[in-house]
Structure 1
Amino acid sequence: MLAGFRFRVPGALRTMLGAFLTALLLVVPSLGAQQGGTITGRVTDVGSGQPIPAVQVFIAALDINGLTQQNGRYLIQNVPAGTHTVSVARIGYRTADQQITIGGGQTVEQNFGLTEQALQLDEIIVTGTSGGAARRAIGNVVTTVDVAGIVQDAAISNFQDLLAARSPGIQFTRLSGNVGTSSPIKIRGVGSFNLNANPLIYVDGVRVNNNSAAGPNLGFGAGVNVLDDFNPQDIESIEIIKGPAAASLYGTEASAGVIQIITKRGAEGAPQFNVTVRQGTNFMTDPAGKVGDQYYCPASFFAHDAACRTEASLVKYNMYDESNRYIADGYFPWGSKELFQNGYVQSYNADVSGGTNTLRYFLSGNYENEEGVVYYNTDETFRLRGNVSAFFGGNFSLDLSTGFVDGYTRYANPAGGAGGVWTDILAASGFFLDRVTAFDSPYGNPRLGGYYNHLPSDVADITASRDYSRFTGSVTLKHTEGDWFSQQLILGIDKAWDINNNLYPVENGPVPESVSALGVTTWGNVYAETLNGEMVYSRPNEGNVTFDYSLNVDYELNDQLSFNTAGGIQYFTETRETFSGQGSGFASPLSRTINQLSTYTTPGYSLIANKALGYYVQERVSWNDRVFVTASMRFDDNSTFGRLAGVRKYPNVSGAWVISEESFWNVGFLDSFRFRGAWGKAGRQPSATAGINTFVVMPGPGGTSGIRASSPGNPAIEPEVSTELELGFEFAALDERLSGEFTHYNRIDRKALLSEAIPSSFGFPGSTQKNLGRIDNWGWEARLSMRILETDAFSFDLDVSADHTMNEIKKLGTTGGYSTRAIGQPYPNHATDDRVLSAFWYTVDSGADLTCPRTGPAGTAVCDRANAFGDRISAMCDSGVTLAPAGVIARAADGTLNAVDAAAAQFALDQYGVMQGGTPQPCGEIPNVNLFAGPAFATYVFTVAPRISLLDNSLQIFALAEGQYGRTSRDDLTDWGHHRFHNSIVSRLEDNALWEYGDQLGDDYVKQLYDADFWRIREIGARYNLPESLAGTMGASRASVSLSARNLFTPYRKVDDIYGARLADPEYGRPTETGSGNYWEMPGTASISMTLRVTF
């Protein structure tokens, strides 16, 4: 029965079940269609190709949103099937939209590229304002340098690479070919005669050492800018404010501007690892061409030989080529195949960042080893950074920033007073080359072989080095209450330990095998210091401590009017403790330490401390978030002020108006337009001892010690004070394809410090510093950015900028002037003692009456002179036009002075100076009147930066060019060839009257000054972002490779030579205001680097 049992469903139930199953089959697909899909992708910067974190990704119609992680990726889930508009937005970038069609359960990948907003009005600026403010509210120009983007493209070795040609108004004084050295930074020219013109430097809110003359003596002094201690790979951005109108809140020492370095921070998300490897080379472009043609007389080594009076009788040579021949022949030992090598550059950088919503971190390590064009010039650096951010309960945050650097540099030009390899080449004498005058001949010189003072191997035996360590750290505690109250406390330290060393080992004197076979038996020392050995040793330790507290209160009166009230107090201390020693007498050529000296002659110790206390108040009024007016007052006291000076006050008033957001604005092609203006004061402090009397120890009777007066102080000394008015505007047009800014500034630098002699009866020798001078500065800055073409396959962007700066000396007090200091002239400038302006040539057989005196043009009496060969030459000189105002005695109408007026006339000439344009006079009768030649800084600077993007922005091709105009420069080394060693053609033939009269009258400047206008390609290269599939084969999420070159081409130079002597480089000079003294220097080098960046 059971086996035959069958369960039977009644007919009605069967019908109902069938209907239910049929309905279910129809409903299931509908339910699948209603299941949500997923949209994912990456958001990157169009310009740099780098991921952008914290971007809002949303579908406005569905109220669905998400945020990108630090790797730029986003994920939006449960998106209903259909077609939707996905938007991405982030402050500082233009919003992007894309329509996406998605099916149920489907995953769609959509990547976005964001373009930075042209004006970025809502970007928060932290420099020059209390607590930070949106750019729209700031009345002065603020330059933001996107360092993180720059280092993705180009190889950056120092801050000159990073900032040169990237911001209008910023100049560097020289381009150095000595690895490990750099240049001071000048912002909007020079406003002081004596004091440091470097801007203040801040790192994450902490003031750090801004010394641009650190390191050992390299002939002109020290040439290291300690700003280069910091790793560019660790920096997110740099903010620059350029003058007193913007820097009032920083008080004393801020008149030269402020540079704020903002280092990288972690972001919420999984750990992200970045590895960067850079390989490259430093080299000198066409070194033989930079040396140029040199000449010698094969008949004699004497300067003027009758056998060599024509160009045909002279023989050309090039000491760089001769050096390579010497190296190949083994004449002297050398560490590379040619005199100048391709210096190997290697850099390795690794960092990791990430975190949660309560704790974020950024950790990095960096190693770099860079070689110069001479094999012994090296710079090795190791750096660490650790930044941690913690958030507590939504109201408190703590930022910890730490950085450490340890390095060692050996410099190319080690001798303090005798120059280096480049000097010995340029001042060479071809007559003593071994192929011209055999080493074993009576006039042979096997010890120098034609070089000036030393063989290159002699230079390499000397050492100038800097061994340095540095720690910079800060803690920033922030507290907020809602959106109306915030306060911030910053505590920081910057501590550096250096060891500077100039080492001259004993020259042991073995005769090299290359010349010993010629019968040479002695090999004497060529440095006086190497006869017994000498060392100059110093250990400067510098420390800065910063305390900075600020408070901000926001209050909205109504929907239109709001207020921000702020105040703060800042305390800063700076100490520099230096132990130094100098001595001679090493026991052996192996002796290398100072304790091995037999004569310890000059021990030294100094401790210099500076303390500054300042506090400020600030009020900002905002109308409709479009019109802003800000007023502030800073009060400063400083230990360098004289006891009678009192507290200094630095007021500031600024305003901004985003007029394009007004309802009446109806300029269709202009998307945004903002007016801004600022007026303010800032200071520049005197030296630490300027306000006090100083004394030094001296030997006393019976072996005791005594003291004597050293330098008098001025109890009334004050800081120099700069007052600046800055006006400008910014705009974006044509759907932000065109944007730009313009700024005009006018600055008055009052109370400039000058030295004034004091009578001996005062009891102190020398002079004292007084606030006597005044310099006026003015200029303008402009920038224009253009997106000329933009498609998915190709885009072309072009950035251009220009700036102009000029100044004028207005007051010199009672100090008088000299050379580069004369009322009415810019500072610094170049001037000559006897400027030859026009000349004509007479020869013995010309038939002219060559008796002396004779009548010249326009009845002017001239006296013919003869050159070294007895040829008569005559030249007319320009006595110049005095710049003294009417009524100031300068010279009588007939050119004479009576005894009563002589002193007053000389004072007028000294203080006001003269410029070209006087009555021609006999050259031999011209007094030293310091004729103005030109400013020693570029008065106009232009930059051009094109960028091409290809392959959906995966390939970026870029360049950066800079042109400088209006600068008169000085090449001292050409004078050595012209006058001292006669290896130029004009000094051999003496057939140029202009040159000859300058030579005979001792006016070396005639043979040194030149117009230094030029255009240089600062940067050129390309970067390719590898496909994600290819990066994935390395286990990476993305990777890029870039190739870049720096200072590779100089397509234009206004002047190539001075009277036939080749000019090596228009930026070749020492790091001083005038750039003179380049005979201790090495011309700037070029570099090529390839960089691989991988992110895991």
Structure 2
Amino acid sequence: MQMKKRVQLFCWLLLLLPALAIAQQKNISGKVTDQNGNPVAGANISVKGTQTGTLSDAEGHFSLKASVGSTIEISFTGYRTQSFKITNETTSFNVALKEDYARLDEVVVTGLATTVKRSNAANAVAVIGARELAGTAPAQTFDAALNGKVVGANIVSNSGAPGGGTSIKLRGVTTIFGNSQPLFVVDGVIVNNSATSAGLNAVTAAAAAGNSSNQDNASNRIADLNPEDIQSVEVLKGASAASIYGAQAAAGVVIITTKRGKAGKTRFNFSQDVGFNSIIRYLGQRPLTDAIVQSQGWDVAAYDSAKAAGKLYDYEKVMYGQKGLIRDSRLSISGGNDKTTFYLAGGLRKEDGIIKRTGYANNSLRVNIDHRINDKIKLSYSSTFINSSADRGLTNNDNAGVTFGVALSSTPSFAQLFPDANGNYPNNPYAASNPLQTRDLMTNNELTNRYIGGVNLDAIIQQSNKMTTRIIARGGLDYYNLKTTAVFPSILQFEVNTTKGHSIQGMTNNVNTNWAGFLVNSYKPADDLSFITTAGLTHEYGKYDNILNVATQLIGIQTNLDQAGAINVSQFRTQYKNDGVFVQEEFAFKNYLNITAGLRFDQSTNNGDYKKYFTYPKANVAWNLSKMNFWKSKTINDLKLRVAYGESSNFPAYISRFTPLNSSNIGGYPGSLVSNTLGDGSIGSERQTELEAGVDISVLEGKLSLEATFYNKVVKDLLMQGQVPASTGFATKYLNAGSLRNRGIELSLKAIPFEGKNFRWTSTTNFWLNRSLITQLNIPAFPLGAFGTTLGTYFIQQGASATQIVGLNGNGGIGKLGDAEPTFQMNFLNDFTIHKNWSLRFLIHWKQGGDVINLTQLLTDLGGTSPDFDVMQSNGKTAGENRIAALGVSSKPFVQNASFVKFREIGLYYTVPYRIKNIERIQLGVSANNLFVITPYVGYDPEVSNFGVGFSSGVDVTPFPTSKRVQFHVAISF
């Protein structure tokens, strides 16, 4: 009996021997170097089709276990991926990576759960690495770090106020009344990017006349992210790439991947930046004489007295002339083993503004952990906590004469505004406020606490020689609490005899959650044929709750809301739920033909019919001619043709579905009044379709490459606000009533003009342009986004550009005076490496064309303080007199060319060429942002937006001036 069992056991062992041989694990070691023999640290070495992998250490060495017959892939950013087959004889191997000059092996997104090499991609995806984002001249905020770097984007800094605030439009205007900002995704977590008003209109009365849009100069919340934590940013600019994200992706998608740990010894990286910021340029002040003072109706005796006492002040420099101190400390710890890697990072940033008592502080903590449960299951956790505080001053539009710029626009240099020895400020006889008093005693603060966290599970549930099936599950939470505090003491000049002080306090809680599950099947029936099938479910939930309290008649120096004679409370709440289903098929043949087709179904409570599923298809083809058998050219290394089509949509505005009720006192009793805007319960989404075509070519071993793209984007069912018959009891209603088209060209040229033993020069030149057109408008043409045709305004009109600016043309009529859309944009990025230890890198951004409605100059004209007011012109009148005379006759003086050339970034770094004990690397550097600007525009900065992140960028009303930054850097790795 025992003999029989032994024979059975022997037979089973014989049957299992092949499987045991296949599963035999071997220790494989080696070294990764570049083509010059220098070690490559951090290269990714993985066993294809499994979760097994490791990273090379500081000397380029690696070690891992792999089965005989498996394939090991070695990849590193900027280098071509190489593969090796493991045989019975393989115990170690060395690999020299070749530089991927054209970034053909760079991996870009093709879906929610899949990626593809750039050489096989059918979409133009802008990728910004850590070095491009923050490694040259670190910006204050993440949105500022993107400026000038994204091909196909029009990025405008709303103002220079600390804490950020940027309008981002990808491939033109995609909506007029809807959300115009792209969708932001951080490590798979969809995050909120709203801008919340601090309620300053209660003091400035900015909405009392003209446009009622938010003019509070609020920052949008994507500015919370720490740029130093980010490994890469991928920008999906159009529907053909972003349609897989469905109804939230009409304005594009920005996918942010943060830094993660690497296996090996624990590494510490510490860096310290110290610097200062200062205004880019001053407008200047009007030189005064007795005759000028008298002609303005000012006090000549006061002018003479101040002049004799040497008390003529340049209040522009007094207000905006502070050199703000910049301090930024960062520490990261990373490491782990083959099973678990971690990345911990903390940052402390504090910057003073160029206006006293303004500034920005950001404290962040990041924890990223990756754990391989076994060869088939990987679990990842990503999280960040952010505490930020921004003191933003009081700038932008104002109908009460209280913001810094508006008050200064009518204040001459001889006015005495400084406090006396007891700290008492005199009243300003030339304006409604003393701007120095307002600056020194007021508060306007945004305080944010934010948590972004996500979990990702990637598991192989089936694997064979030809097929692998993975299940991917992820979930995330984005929560922030925003407290806005604006206090204007009763002692202020404009408060004493009116409202006797303001305490404006807002509290916002925002919660966004999302989860998704994907099934990905990779099938390779033959070596030259492969299929990747993806199916998935997504769910997003969001809740926004803002309460704003405006208290007046403050008691003494109290700021508590209950220490006031009157209080007004308003609350705005929104809530949504989205559900999506999608399928996608990717087909690859002989590594030269790649076809992708996908379909997404979306349901959202934001739609009029919230139960209806909307369908968003996508399809694309990439054909790489240079990988076909007939290709023999040694000059052209890569030639790819591509075409892509996709659809997405933009949710209707939250308020468009409902008829709002306004609170009111009716006969002494609280009640509600129906507003004059009628809601539409059947309102539909804006529908977007896009066709994109392009060609990619590289020559000279990739040392010269060109990516060229043309796109045609059509947006139908544009959300509009139209008039309704008075008999309905309403004045306006939201409706789908138009179509919009954007066409554009994007070119990206990468080159290595020179490469030698001790000197290397790499260069990137990007060019892009966009043209928009209102192709259909089912309601009468209407002005939007400024202050009427007298001063110049945007005008939505069929057959015209969506961003045209019209106004009085001097002939008794109204005509087109300009367009906010640039004629074209270009950037030039150059990187010089000298003796391997010195690095010089700079970015120049050129925007040609694009007009701005400059009302800051109008205010200084009316106040008699414009620096060129007295310049004589050909008609015998001064420049200031001519501009004032044009008011009400022609808007041309106020619509100005905003072309510019900006030296956005420059950095010079030196890496110490030898190690000091346990210190692996020491780097020293100096950098500058916005070092100078060349522009014909008469204003602080041609990049300006009084109305923030919405449709109406390019309106200049006494903004917070933009600053330039100079910083010194020390970085130590050990």
TM-score class, shorter: 0.7 to 0.9
Cα displacement string for residues 368-424 of structure 1 (whole angstroms, at most 9, x for unaligned residues) = 101111121111121111111111121211111111101211113269834543444
Equivalent residue number for residue 971 of structure 2 = 1093
Q: Kindly tell me: are residues 638 and 55 of structure 1, through their superposed partners in 2, closer, same or farther at Cα, counting changes over 3 Å? A: closer
Q: Kindly report which structure 2 residues correspond to 1:23-38, keeping only aligned pairs within 5 A, or say none.
A: none
Does 1:665 pair with 2:631?
yes
Equivalent residue number for residue 919 of structure 2 = 1036
Equivalent residue number for residue 240 of structure 1 = 235
From 338, 346, 354, the counterpart of 1:365: 346
After TM superposition, the structure 1 stretch with the greater mean CA deviation from structure 2, 376-385 or 49-58, is 49-58
Query: Is there any run of 5+ residues in structure 1 with no aligned partner, and where?
Result: 1-38, 59-65, 78-86, 98-109, 308-313, 328-335, 440-444, 509-524, 837-876, 878-925, 1058-1062
Q: Kindly tell me: are residues 135 and 736 of structure 1, through their superposed partners in 2, closer, same or farther at Cα, counting changes over 3 Å? A: closer
Q: Kindly tell me: are residues 149 and 1009 of structure 1, through their superposed partners in 2, closer, same or farther at Cα, counting changes over 3 Å? A: closer
Does 1:597 pair with 2:564?
yes
Does 1:540 pair with 2:424?
no
C-alpha distance in structure 1 between counterparts of 2:81 and 2:158, whole Å: 43
Corresponding letter in the other structure for 2:777: L
1:245 positional shift: 1.2
Does 1:348 pair with 2:332?
no
Q: Is the 8 A contact 2:579 2:602 kept in 1?
A: yes
From 30, 41, 49, the counterpart of 1:52: 41
Does 1:832 pair with 2:807?
yes
C-alpha distance in structure 2 between counterparts of 1:614 and 1:1037, whole Å: 48
1:57 positional shift: 13
1:302 positional shift: 4.1
C-alpha distance in structure 2 between counterparts of 1:378 and 1:178, whole Å: 8
Equivalent residue number for residue 888 of structure 2 = 1002
1:757 positional shift: 1.6
Equivalent residue number for residue 815 of structure 1 = 780
Q: Kindly tell me: are residues 373 and 396 of structure 1, through their superposed partners in 2, closer, same or farther at Cα, counting changes over 3 Å? A: same
From 460, 478, 485, the counterpart of 1:494: 478
C-alpha distance in structure 1 between counterparts of 2:663 and 2:46, whole Å: 72
From 687, 690, 696, the counterpart of 1:721: 687
C-alpha distance in structure 1 between counterparts of 2:295 and 2:495, whole Å: 24
* Count of equivalent residues: 880
Cα displacement string for residues 338-361 of structure 1 (whole angstroms, at most 9, x for unaligned residues) = 851110000111111111111111
After TM superposition, the structure 1 stretch with the greater mean CA deviation from structure 2, 358-367 or 292-301, is 292-301
Equivalent residue number for residue 505 of structure 1 = 489
1:979 positional shift: 3.2
From 974, 978, 991, the counterpart of 2:876: 991
Q: Is the 8 A contact 1:656 1:674 kept in 2?
A: yes
Equivalent residue number for residue 1011 of structure 1 = 897
Cα displacement string for residues 105-133 of structure 1 (whole angstroms, at most 9, x for unaligned residues) = xxxxx999966413444433346454333
SS in 1 for 2:707: strand
Equivalent residue number for residue 270 of structure 2 = 275
Q: Kindly report which structure 2 residues correspond to 1:84-123, keeping only aligned pairs within 5 A, or say none.
A: 90-94=75-79, 116-123=99-106
C-alpha distance in structure 2 between counterparts of 1:358 and 1:51, whole Å: 22
Cα displacement string for residues 803-823 of structure 1 (whole angstroms, at most 9, x for unaligned residues) = 011101122212333352122
C-alpha distance in structure 2 between counterparts of 1:788 and 1:299, whole Å: 58
Equivalent residue number for residue 591 of structure 2 = 625
Equivalent residue number for residue 947 of structure 1 = 831
After TM superposition, the structure 1 stretch with the greater mean CA deviation from structure 2, 478-487 or 789-798, is 478-487
Q: Kindly tell me: are residues 397 and 254 of structure 1, through their superposed partners in 2, closer, same or farther at Cα, counting changes over 3 Å? A: same
Corresponding letter in the other structure for 1:822: Q
Cα displacement string for residues 588-620 of structure 1 (whole angstroms, at most 9, x for unaligned residues) = 1x31222221211x1122321011111111112
Q: Is the 8 A contact 1:410 1:464 kept in 2?
A: yes
Cα displacement string for residues 65-101 of structure 1 (whole angstroms, at most 9, x for unaligned residues) = x975354542799xxxxxxxxx99525544699xxxx
Equivalent residue number for residue 386 of structure 1 = 367
Structure whose CA Rg is larger: 1
Identity within the alignment, %: 21
Q: Kindly tell me: are residues 998 and 324 of structure 1, through their superposed partners in 2, closer, same or farther at Cα, counting changes over 3 Å? A: closer
Q: Is the 8 A contact 1:140 1:677 kept in 2?
A: yes
Q: Kindly tell me: are residues 610 and 57 of structure 1, through their superposed partners in 2, closer, same or farther at Cα, counting changes over 3 Å? A: closer
Q: Is the 8 A contact 1:200 1:259 kept in 2?
A: yes
Corresponding letter in the other structure for 1:501: T
1:759 positional shift: 2.5
Q: Is the 8 A contact 2:600 2:617 kept in 1?
A: yes
Equivalent residue number for residue 465 of structure 1 = 445
Cα displacement string for residues 159-206 of structure 1 (whole angstroms, at most 9, x for unaligned residues) = 244212222112222362211132111111112111121000000111
SS in 2 for 1:380: strand
1:536 positional shift: 1.7
C-alpha distance in structure 2 between counterparts of 1:53 and 1:303, whole Å: 69
C-alpha distance in structure 2 between counterparts of 1:204 and 1:325, whole Å: 49
Corresponding letter in the other structure for 1:776: R
Q: Is the 8 A contact 1:671 1:736 kept in 2?
A: yes
TM-score by length of 2: 0.84
Equivalent residue number for residue 512 of structure 1 = none
After TM superposition, the structure 1 stretch with the greater mean CA deviation from structure 2, 999-1008 or 654-663, is 999-1008
1:1043 positional shift: 0.8
Cα displacement string for residues 5-52 of structure 1 (whole angstroms, at most 9, x for unaligned residues) = xxxxxxxxxxxxxxxxxxxxxxxxxxxxxxxxxx99885899xx9963
Q: Kindly report which structure 2 residues correspond to 1:31-430, keeping only aligned pairs within 5 A, or say none.
A: 52-54=41-43, 69-71=56-58, 73-74=60-61, 90-94=75-79, 116-126=99-109, 128-148=111-131, 150-174=133-157, 176-212=159-195, 217=200, 220-287=215-282, 290-295=283-288, 297-298=290-291, 300-303=293-296, 340-413=321-394, 417=398, 418=401, 420-430=403-413
1:528 positional shift: 6.2
1:704 positional shift: 5.9
From 742, 750, 754, the counterpart of 1:777: 742
C-alpha distance in structure 2 between counterparts of 1:302 and 1:113, whole Å: 78
C-alpha distance in structure 2 between counterparts of 1:353 and 1:1028, whole Å: 22
1:1075 positional shift: 3.8
C-alpha distance in structure 2 between counterparts of 1:416 and 1:1000, whole Å: 21
TM-score by length of 1: 0.75
Cα displacement string for residues 290-336 of structure 1 (whole angstroms, at most 9, x for unaligned residues) = 3254556536544489x9xxxxxx99x99xx9776789xxxxxxxx9
SS in 1 for 2:243: helix
- CA RMSD in angstroms comes to 3.6
Equivalent residue number for residue 1064 of structure 1 = 940
Q: Is the 8 A contact 2:357 2:439 kept in 1?
A: no
After TM superposition, the structure 1 stretch with the greater mean CA deviation from structure 2, 260-269 or 525-534, is 525-534
Q: Kindly report which structure 2 residues correspond to 1:534-573, keeping only aligned pairs within 5 A, or say none.
A: 534-573=502-541
1:281 positional shift: 0.7
Q: Is the 8 A contact 1:215 1:224 kept in 2?
A: no
Q: Kindly report which structure 2 residues correspond to 1:555-704, keeping only aligned pairs within 5 A, or say none.
A: 555-588=523-556, 590-600=557-567, 602-643=568-609, 646-699=612-665, 703=669
Q: Kindly tell me: are residues 1069 and 68 of structure 1, through their superposed partners in 2, closer, same or farther at Cα, counting changes over 3 Å? A: closer
Cα displacement string for residues 405-457 of structure 1 (whole angstroms, at most 9, x for unaligned residues) = 0121111326983454344434333565799xxx9xxxxx9633767742423
SS in 1 for 2:163: coil
Q: Is the 8 A contact 2:603 2:610 kept in 1?
A: no
1:699 positional shift: 4.0
Q: Is the 8 A contact 1:282 1:345 kept in 2?
A: yes
SS in 2 for 1:456: helix
Query: Is there any run of 5+ residues in structure 2 with no aligned partner, and where?
Result: 1-28, 48-52, 65-71, 83-92, 207-214, 784-792
Equivalent residue number for residue 788 of structure 2 = none
Q: Is the 8 A contact 1:507 1:530 kept in 2?
A: no
SS in 2 for 1:291: coil
C-alpha distance in structure 2 between counterparts of 1:72 and 1:972, whole Å: 60
C-alpha distance in structure 2 between counterparts of 1:94 and 1:366, whole Å: 30
